[in-house]
Amino acid sequence: MESHWVEPESLSTHEKVQEIMTLILGRKRGMTQLFDADGTVHGVTVVEVGPCVVTQVRTQEKDGYDAIQLGWGDIADKRLAKPQLGQYKKAGLAPKRFMREERLSAAATCKVGDTVTCDIFKEGDLVDVVGTMKGRGFAGTIKRHNFHRGPETHGCMNVRQPGSLASKRIGKVIKGKRLGGHYGDTRETSKNLRVVRVDAARNLLYIKGSVAGANNGFIQVRTAKTGVRQKAKA
């Protein structure tokens, strides 16, 4: 399997971090528990990632930056917009539903049509997982900002109300005041989660902790940005 992985030994620490940044696309399958040999229980999210196909390689000369573009998830031709369809036709690939780019610090070593599978990660790696949080519609301050509620009895009428918005002296509501409003359905990144197990045969990653979004929701898994850097320093 050809991937954009570059052996980091010859690079300096900073470059190393940039170079081993890896991305893969997939979907969340659900949560379960895993037992260690010593009986410790881990809550893990099972995600199905890859195989992704490299749909485009961005180069310094042509695009002004180095990156690779990955595609994942089969889709019927008629469901895809014509420009994207043309891109796939030109590359001679089956059309994919999701496309994401990953920036590289040096020219990519892979070419269009290469596949990326979940074994770019190994057990113990730290990853960031990007997902779309479940939408909650118009939510009040208790759900949205973790406000406390008021007393329910003794004649109180302010059970779930936000309380005072400002003082009379200020005379206006300060911008950024936390109030009710639309909550959820936003891009959320869970950082520095540990890969507990890699199941290459079924394209599954077991990631410790929770991941934003509903089951079967689209997610991106990439090498942790901050966690790896800390590790490299030590």
Binding residues for another protein, rule: CB under 8 A, are 29-39, 41, 46, 48, 204
137 CB burial (10 A radius; 0-12, 13-18, 19+): exposed
CB of residue 60 vs another protein: minimum separation in angstroms? 41
Q: How far is the CB of 48 from another protein (least distance, A)?
A: 8
**CB of 33 or CB of 146, closer to another protein:** 33
Shortest Cβ distance from residue 38 to another protein (Å)?
8
Segment (H or E) for 62: helix 60-63
Nearest CB to another protein, comparing residues 9 and 38? 38
C-beta of 35 vs 138, nearer to another protein:
35
The Cα 13–Cα 181 span in angstroms is 43
Report the distance separating Cα 82 and Cα 136, nearest Å. 33
Sheet of 96-103, strands arranged across? 96-103, 67-74, 52-58, 115-116
Q: Distances in Å between the alpha carbon of 143 and those of 60, 119, 203?
A: 46, 38, 35
Least distance from C-beta 35 to another protein, angstroms? 6
Q: Which is nearer to another protein, 30 or 86 (CB)?
A: 30
In whole angstroms, the minimum distance from the beta carbon of 79 to another protein comes to 23
Least distance CB 222 / another protein (angstroms): 23
Cβ distance to another protein smaller for residue 61 or 74 = 74
CA 234 to centroid of chain Cα atoms: 26
Structure-token pair, residue 139: 């939510």
* Pair 104, 58: CB distance under 8 Å: no
DSSP state of 159: S
Looking at the Cβ atoms of 46 and 68, the one nearer to another protein is 46
Token code pair at residue 91: 């590359």
